[in-house]
Amino acid sequence: MKIDYDFHIHTEYCGHAPTMTIEAICRRADEAGLRMIAITDHTTQPDKQAPVEQIRRLVEQFRPRCQVIIGAEIDVDGQRDDGRLTVEDFSGLDYVVAGFHYVPTKGHYPWKPEQRGLDEETFLRVWEKTLLGIVSNPAIDTLAHPGRLLASCMQLDVHGERALKVFQEAAVLSAKNEIAWEINELTGSRLAHNGLSFWIRLYQIALEAGVRLIFGSDSHEPESIGSCTFAQEILRHLPSDALSKPEDLPATKRWKNPI
Ligand SMILES: [Zn+2]
Ligand SMILES: [Zn+2]
């Protein structure tokens, strides 16, 4: 199945994606034949928000063939364990993705278990509480890269089963609050060594609870826009209609002026 949209794309404004000018993003999306993209740059703090109006202006200037939705990936507050976002005013955003990046209560970004900074039990406790808090917020459209923080911090072959039970609970809340889960390509390239079976189970759990799945590359360079090797691998193990279209998202109702 061809994936003809990409709903998680960063820009040069995030500070760690220097080649991602708005023009380069639009050009690449058109080259890749995508019909719709969402630009979802990082919002980490109230004073470090994605410059959505500037992005919108530049997209309007470039006028790509594909439709462009302007949203943001808003950080979950790493200083707490209740899943609240660092910014709760979503004005100007047509799509809100929640990014669970930091070890709850510690606030740092871990790449591997040695960087977890908490013992396993404590980590699992704050991780669970935070995840369930995030998906209790109906203002969020999509949970970015579910499982990525967990897979960075824990051995999935040891703790995967317990975590999947938490994801079951999270899926029920997500369905109730109409929060989609992302199949995130960057997670695959970073964490594929953790085995496919965990990720397939994760998305099966989502589907069984009635959670929509939405694709995002999480691109930080133009070449990655629309690339979906990991996502396709997962989708091969799921029902043929597992992946939702952006138009199926409740967020669509808010899209007053998609470009
Ligand atoms: Zn993220
Ligand atoms: Zn991202």
Domain containing 144 equals 5-254
Rounded-to-integer distance, Cα 91 and Cα 254, Å: 11
Domain assignment of residue 130, yes or no: yes
| Separation of CA 100 and ligand 1 centre (Å) | 7
Contact 81, 75 (CB under 8 A): no
pTM: 0.96
Domain assignment of residue 247, yes or no: yes
What is the reported pLDDT for 258? 59
Domain assignment of residue 259, yes or no: no
Domain assignment of residue 177, yes or no: yes
Domain assignment of residue 203, yes or no: yes
DSSP summary character for residue 106:
T
List of residues 6+ apart from 228 with CB closer than 8 A: 3, 185, 215, 217
Domain assignment of residue 63, yes or no: yes
Q: Which residues of the chain have pLDDT under 70?
A: 1, 192-194, 256-259
Complete edge-to-edge strand list for the sheet that includes strand 213-216: 5-9, 36-43, 67-75, 96-99, 142-143, 180-184, 213-216
| Separation of CA 228 and ligand 2 centre (Å) | 15
How do residues 78-103 score in pLDDT, each as one tens digit?
999 999 999 999 988 999 999 999 99
How do residues 99-152 score in pLDDT, each as one tens digit?
999 999 999 999 999 999 999 999 999 999 999 999 999 999 999 999 999 999
Total of domains in the chain: 1
| Separation of CA 183 and ligand 2 centre (Å) | 12
What is the reported pLDDT for 191? 77
Domain assignment of residue 184, yes or no: yes
| Separation of CA 63 and ligand 1 centre (Å) | 27
CATH, residue 240:
3.20.20.140
Domain assignment of residue 133, yes or no: yes
Rounded-to-integer distance, Cα 13 and Cα 229, Å: 26
